[in-house]
């Protein structure tokens, strides 16, 4: 079996890696497909240094994002209980439900922070009362906020 060669990817390649990644592939795959299509290039010492610098910058950027997420988490927990007003019917049942967009709007109102609604997990809310919602701010940072649903 032929030995594998190292390439640096110039473009994202599905099931192989993202742009800037150092990958090992079969020589034929590199020679016949990746290099002619401009998706990869052979490794040189200078190119390895560029890859390392790029990875270090990416690590620093991710660390900064985590710091911002920790600050947002502290602000959300400091805000305390968020109140959402809904119309109610019989037996304290609300019309409709409380959505993650409702929670994002209340957070924007109370704290002034824009939170992506797709990162908010709200339990099924069909009656007035207190509920917990989880907000994923970063892959490693999750905040929990209390939501109080009241009659409008």
Closest to 86 (Cα-Cα) out of 65, 108, 100, 102: 102
% pLDDT > 90, the chain? 59
For the segment(s) 5-62, the CATH number from 3.40.5.10, 3.40.50.150, 1.25.40.10, 3.10.290.10 is 3.40.5.10
Please give the span between the terminal C-alpha atoms of the chain, in angstroms, as a whole number. 73
Contact 34/25 with Cβ under 8 angstroms?
yes
Structure confidence by residue, pLDDT tens digits, 75-121: 888 888 899 999 988 888 898 889 999 999 999 998 888 889 999 99
2: confidence class by pLDDT, cuts 50, 70, 90: low
Compute the distance between CA of residue 106 and CA of residue 135 in angstroms, rounded to an integer: 13
pTM: 0.66
CATH topology for the 66-151 domain: Ribosomal Protein L9; domain 2 (3.10.430)
Label residue 88 exposed, middle or buried (CB < 10 Å: 0-12, 13-18, 19+).
Answer: middle
Instruction: Please check the confidence at residue 140 and state whether its pLDDT lies above 70.
Output: yes
Instruction: Please check the confidence at residue 31 and state whether its pLDDT lies above 90.
Output: yes
SS3 83: strand
């Amino acid at each position: 079996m032929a030995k594998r060669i190292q390439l640096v990817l110039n473009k994202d390649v599905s099931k192989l890696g993202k742009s800037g990644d150092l990958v090992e592939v079969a020589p034929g795959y590199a020679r016949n497909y990746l290099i002619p299509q401009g998706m990869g290039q052979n490794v040189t010492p200078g190119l390895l240094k560029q890859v390392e610098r790029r990875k270090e910058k990416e690590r620093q950027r991710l660390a900064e994002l985590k710091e911002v997420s920790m600050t947002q988490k502290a602000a959300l927990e400091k805000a305390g209980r968020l109140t959402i007003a809904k119309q109610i019917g019989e037996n304290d049942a609300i019309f409709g439900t409380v959505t993650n967009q409702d929670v994002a709007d209340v957070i924007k109102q109370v704290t002034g922070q824009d939170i992506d609604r797709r990162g908010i997990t709200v339990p099924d809310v069909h009656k007035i009362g207190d509920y917990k919602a989880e907000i994923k701010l970063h892959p490693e940072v999750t905040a929990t906020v209390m939501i109080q649903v009241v009659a409008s």
